């Protein structure tokens, strides 16, 4: 399972890229800041300094959530693709996001105070993602056809968005507005107080994924092979759906739906490293996913002087052509 020497250099490069872009991202924005403000906002923070306040309360949470969301969604995509042996699978295409969106919509649009609260929102998103994950898993057990399963995911998405439209029409202006804001997707919604809980959930999911690398390596040969090598496939499937739902639910709750990251990045990493070694792919997805979404966010910041782009729109603009490229490559 060795990788070609020339590609190993990508890891330190991406690492350096993440550090540099994070720092850049802390510096740019409407309010001018310099390196000293960044340093102070972390180590000598004073609320009275506007630059330090902006960096600590707005930019640090945004950089962190961009890194975490990119990493988490990419790993979720990798897990789905290996589980369903389908390079075009991903939490978004399979409709796991839709599950989170549906329950969040029900919560917010019902006007319930509890369900619109932070805890209610996270709870709904996690539960919705998990229920839809199990649903997809169940469907996959008799819908063996790769394309069929993807179509099923897309149908699930259409079905849910139809329900959401109906809900929207019959709900009050106030809750409608807050749902519309949420569904556009944004990395600005996270506060510094929420970061620890997001980080803990993210680390839990990543460690759990690390425990699955051995069976995942066998799973590329099929579920029977995995079982024949002594792994409990039922438990493995549940673990994968659980981690995917945790990641997708968490990110969807805080940032809204973010499309294509989970589909494009795992394909990109497999193509770059030309391997099926999931230990390597896991780290590659964590790093490339983080770098990609951070890059997207910086692009949005830079463009914001001329045009406002929601994060979900930008990832789709970049991700969709890439996925079409993969499709064409596959057919040829």
Partner 1 sequence: MIALKNTDIGFDTALFSIEEINFSKGNVHVLLGKNGVGKSALLSTISGLIAPARGKLTLEGKLLSGYSFKYLAKKIAYVRSNVQEVPFLTVDAFLLLGRYHYKTFLGGHSGEDYDLIKQAKDLFGISHLAEKFTNELSSGELHLCAIAKAYVQQTDYILLDEPTSHLDYANKRKVYELLGKMAKEHNKGIIISTHDLDLAFKFSFNFYLIDTQSKTLKSVKTFKEVEKEFI
Based on CB atoms, which residue is closest to partner 1, 280 or 314?
Answer: 280
CB of 328 to partner 1, least distance (A): 15
Distance between CA 13 and CA 9 in Å, rounded?
6
Q: Which H or E element spans position 204?
A: helix 195-211
217 binds partner 1 (CB under 8 A): yes
Long-range contacts (CB closer than 8 Å, 24 or more residues apart) made by 234-238:
236/212, 237/83, 237/137, 238/137
Among 192, 220, 317, 324, indicate the residue that binds partner 1 (CB under 8 A).
220
Cβ 208 to partner 1, closest distance in Å?
12
| Residue 139: CB minimum distance to partner 1, A | 20
**Residue 297, class by beta-carbon neighbours within 10 Å (0-12 exposed, 13-18 middle, 19+ buried)?**
buried
Comparison of 36 and 220: residue with beta carbon closer to partner 1: 220
Note whether 228 binds partner 1 by CB under 8 A.
yes
CB of 276 to partner 1, least distance (A): 4
Contacts of 157 (CB under 8 A, 6+ apart): 95, 97, 98
For partner 1, which stretch binds (CB under 8 A), given 7-15, 159-167, 225-233, 236-244? 225-233
Interaction mask 55-94, partner 1, x per CB under 8 A: ------------------------------x---------
282: Cβ–Cβ under 8 A, 6 or more apart, which residues?
75, 78, 206, 209, 210, 213
Cα–Cα distance measured from residue 248 to residue 209, given in angstroms and rounded to the nearest whole number = 14
Q: Is the dihedral of CA 331, 139, 237, 96 positive or negative?
A: positive
Q: Does 218 contact partner 1 by CB under 8 A?
A: yes
3-class SS string, 289-307: HHHHHHHHHHHHHHHCCCC
Cβ-proximal residues to 166 (8 Å cutoff; 6+ apart), any chain: none
Is 229 a binding residue for partner 1 by CB under 8 A? The answer is yes
Work out which of 57, 277, 318, 320 binds partner 1, going by CB under 8 A. 277
Q: Minimum Å distance from CB 95 to partner 1?
A: 25
Residue 275 binding partner 1, by CB under 8 A: yes
DSSP state of 3: -
Instruction: Tell which one of 10, 161, 194, 279 touches partner 1 (CB under 8 A).
Output: 279
Q: Which stretch binds partner 1 (CB under 8 A): 32-40, 156-164, 270-278, 293-301?
A: 270-278
d(CA 325, CA 57): 39
274 in contact with partner 1 (CB under 8 A) = yes
How many residues bind partner 1 (CB under 8 A)? The answer is 27
Reported residue count of the chain is 332
**Dihedral sign for Cα atoms in the order 30, 34, 35, 41:** negative
Q: Which is nearer to partner 1, 113 or 331 (CB)?
A: 331
Query: Is 195 or 279 the residue whose CB approaches partner 1 more closely?
Result: 279
Applying CB under 8 A, the span of 12-20, 32-40, 228-236, 288-296 interacting with partner 1 comes to: 228-236
User: Residue 106 CB, nearest distance to partner 1 (Å)?
Assistant: 40
Distance of CA 18 to the CA centre of its chain: 17
Quote the CA–CA distance of 132 and 134 in Å, as a whole number.
5
3-state helix, strand, coil in the chain (%, to 5): 75, 0, 25
Per CB under 8 A, 270 contacts partner 1: yes
Site residues for partner 1, window 175-214 (CB under 8 A)?
Answer: 210-211, 213-214
| 227 forms part of the interface with partner 1 (CB under 8 A) | yes
Using CB under 8 A, list all residues that contact partner 1: 1, 85, 210-211, 213-214, 217-218, 220-222, 224-225, 227-232, 270-271, 273-277, 279
């Amino acid at each position: 399972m060795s990788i070609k020497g020339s590609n190993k250099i990508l890891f330190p490069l991406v690492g350096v890229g993440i550090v540099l872009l994070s720092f850049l991202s802390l510096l740019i924005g409407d309010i001018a800041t310099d390196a000293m403000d960044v340093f102070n906002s972390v180590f000598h923070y004073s609320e009275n300094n506007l630059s330090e306040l902006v960096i600590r309360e707005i930019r640090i949470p945004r950089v962190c959530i961009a890194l975490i969301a990119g990493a988490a969604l990419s790993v979720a995509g990798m897990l789905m693709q290996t589980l369903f042996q389908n390079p075009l699978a991903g939490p978004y295409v399979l409709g796991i996001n839709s599950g989170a969106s549906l329950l969040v919509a029900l919560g917010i649009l019902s006007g319930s105070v509890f369900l619109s609260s932070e805890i209610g929102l996270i709870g709904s998103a996690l539960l919705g993602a998990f229920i839809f994950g199990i649903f997809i898993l169940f469907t996959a057990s008799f819908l063996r056809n790769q394309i069929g399963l993807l179509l099923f995911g897309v149908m699930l998405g259409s079905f849910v968005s139809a329900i959401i439209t109906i809900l929207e029409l019959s709900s009050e202006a106030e809750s409608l507005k807050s749902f519309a804001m949420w569904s556009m997707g944004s990395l600005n919604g996270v506060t510094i107080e929420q970061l620890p809980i997001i980080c803990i959930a993210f680390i839990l999911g990543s460690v759990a994924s690390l425990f699955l690398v051995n069976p995942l390596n066998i799973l590329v040969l099929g579920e029977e092979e995995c079982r024949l090598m002594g792994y409990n496939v039922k438990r493995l499937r549940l673990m994968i759906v659980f981690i995917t739902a945790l990641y997708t639910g968490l990110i969807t709750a805080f940032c809204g739906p973010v499309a294509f990251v989970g589909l494009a990045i795992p394909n990109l990493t497999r193509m770059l490293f030309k391997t099926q070694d999931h230990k390597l792919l896991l780290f590659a997805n964590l790093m490339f996913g983080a770098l990609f979404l951070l890059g997207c966010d910086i692009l949005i910041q830079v463009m914001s002087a001329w045009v406002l782009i929601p994060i979900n729109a930008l990832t789709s603009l970049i991700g969709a052509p890439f996925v079409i490229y993969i499709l064409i490559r596959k057919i040829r």
